[in-house]
Structure 1
């Protein structure tokens, strides 16, 4: 009986480890994706931040996609703007990250080529303690072992209860334009 259990464990453990290795090889990853946002209003100083250390993970078999951006990773042209972003608006000590989890509709790596194709990505964006459904168009291409995803979409600051003082409300657009670029490779 004990010998039988040892054999089962001896056989089962390598099988489980092998399945984890195979599953982990399926994922594609980057830790240097870029997200840029702009909340500028014409005639005023541009309000734009960029984070080039965003993690993106893609399961090429299922089309599931996820990303994680640390909010303090956003950089601005002016240090004062970055300070206000972190302390007053995004409250990054309290809400340190933005997370997106979603699905690329109709995704099939066999249909990808060097030419960009349009896909729809649907999912949930968690930001500033709130969660919101997002639907965006993405351009996706595959070159050798890399998949590139580019998407532009908009979110409303008010949907995430991001506080904008009335004194400067006229200088910031509630509709924030977001662009993301990720070049993913086998992890």
Structure 2
């Protein structure tokens, strides 16, 4: 497990100010016996370059007082800790992402390898803000993408 997993997201649109944030306090737990995996990110843990953007994200988009966390519960398909090495191996993770009070089943790719510090896991995937009833105000709809690119990077110890 780790409590310092890094989750980043980006919903930028070309020619406009970048819309991206990072959370370096994501908890991720992997059961090496059966491949079950769970992650929890506190919404207010996401940091933006622009403070006003962070405020709008928390108050208007994600409503972090009402929906304080994002969670994922799933399974790394065909996971076998004995077959891990220093070389990255590609896996598929299937599970349910819960965000903004909505749940959606997702299937995402992951790369996993053994390191001196533990098990290193990375994943890159895209979700649609509409799937989680996240409304983007008309006034900025051409500046914020509904397709949100997400990355996870963590070392489980």
**TM-score range relative to shorter protein:** over 0.9
Higher share of residues assigned strand: 2
> Structure 1, unaligned stretches of length 5 or more?
1-28
Query: C-alpha distance in 1, partners of 2:50/2:75?
Result: 35
Structure 2 residue aligned with 1:56, among 28, 33, 36? 28
Larger radius of gyration between Structure 1 and Structure 2: 1
Preserved CA contact (<8 Å) 2:117 2:155: no
2:98 alignment partner, one of 91, 103, 126: 126
TM-score by length of 2: 0.99
> What's the secondary structure of 1:172's corresponding residue?
coil
Runs of 4+ in 1 over 6 A off after TM superposition: none
Give the length in aligned residue pairs.
157
Unaligned runs of 5+ in 2: none
- Contact 2:108/2:123 (8 A) holds in 1: yes
Task: Give me the TM-score of the superposition, normalised by structure 1.
Answer: 0.83
Q: How far apart, in 2, do the equivalents of 1:51 and 1:122 lie?
A: 22
| Equivalent residue runs for 1:35-184 within 5 Å | 35-144=7-116, 146-184=118-156
The equivalent residue for 1:5 is: none
Question: 2 CA distance for matches of 1:91 and 1:163?
Answer: 11
Deviation by residue 1:137-164 (Cα, 9 ceiling, x = unmatched):
0000012450000000000001000011
Q: How big is each residue's C-alpha offset from its partner over 1:34-55, in whole Å with a ceiling of 9 and x where there is no partner?
A: 0000000000000001000000
- Give a deviation string over 1:72-93, Cα, whole Å, max 9, x none: 0000000000000000000000
